[in-house]
Chains A and B, each alone.
Chain A
Amino acid sequence: MLHLPLFLIFGLICVAGAINLLVQRHPINSALSLVVVMASLAAEYLLLGAEFVAAVQVIVYAGAIMVLFVFVIMLLNAGEEEHTKGSRVALLLGVPGIAIGGVLVAWTLLRHSNTAAVQIGALPGPPKEVARLLFHDFLLPFEVTSILILIAIMGAVVLASRPEAIVRRLRRGEPTQQPEKHELAVAGKER
């Protein structure tokens, strides 16, 4: 019964968070408003009866990915944005473009699409059903994505590490700069 108001409330929170992301100057504020967006999206998923997805959204998206973002922001000590020259194309073409696109889509959807309603809990989305689908019909993509994650991990490690560190590890015994203490301990050498 409260479906529509709930939808509207959480929808407004979503939109507010999104707009706040755009408006804020400091990236940490944008990150936190993104967290707000994801949380309210999780609530939307619940309204749609997708329990498992909602849980995963909170755990993975808001809980892991956004934490990663915040870590990086703090690591890099990102400050407020400077005002530099932007891109003319982006402002002239892109913004109106997407605005018009969004308006078109919205208008179309509201005017022409099938407005059959979705009820709360109309579709059971318990983990059991999801798991059944996941491990039977979508087994291959599931396994492949695990490999994808593995590759992503390796890539992230390689990309983020210092190049000299890799070189040093490759050629043991040729330090190119003063090694750090913990690395010395790992290498087992005294200087």
Chain B
Amino acid sequence: MGNLSNVPLSYYLVLSGILFACGVLGFLIKRNIITVFMSIELMLNGVNLSFVAFAAHWHHLSGQIFVFFVMVVAAAEAAVGLAIIIAVYRTRETLNVDQVNLLKL
């Protein structure tokens, strides 16, 4: 099996890519707003993984710092986004993303 103590960087990146792709798919397919939102979080996680992997690869800690900030922003975004969802639910009485379409022409 080769040298098992070494994992190539590209494997991490591929995993990150798969997570990201799943996030996008979820965003496109799912009908529940909350699930859509969770897909966004999944995307962010995928990106975090690739940041950390690169930080390890280049031996530079600022990748991890960036992950830190991404998490902070994700938290803020989650809070505000869920508040919006609650407000939308109050007025529209539905969590179906297709029915939140008042911004059409």
The reply to whether A and B meet directly (CB within 8 Å) is: yes
User: Which residues of A are at the interface with B, using a C-beta cutoff of 8 A?
Assistant: 1-5, 7, 11, 14-15, 18-19, 21-22, 27, 30-31, 34, 37-38, 41, 44-45, 47-50, 52-53, 56-57, 60-61, 64-65, 68-69, 72-73, 75-76, 78, 81-87, 90-91, 94-95, 98-99, 101-102, 105-106, 109-110, 113-120, 122-123, 125, 129-130, 133-134, 137-138, 141, 145, 148-149, 151-153, 155-160, 162
**C-alpha spacing A133/B23, complex, angstroms:** 31
A61 touches B72 (CB 8 A): no
**How many of chain B's residues have a CB under 8 angstroms from any CB in A?**
74
A148 touches B73 (CB 8 A): yes
Interface flags for B6-18 (1: CB within 8 Å of A; 0: not) read 1111111111011
User: Which residues of B are at the interface with A, using a C-beta cutoff of 8 A?
Assistant: 1, 3-15, 17-26, 28-32, 34-35, 37-39, 41-42, 45, 48-49, 52-53, 55-57, 59, 61-62, 64-65, 67-69, 71-80, 82-87, 89-90, 95-96, 98-99
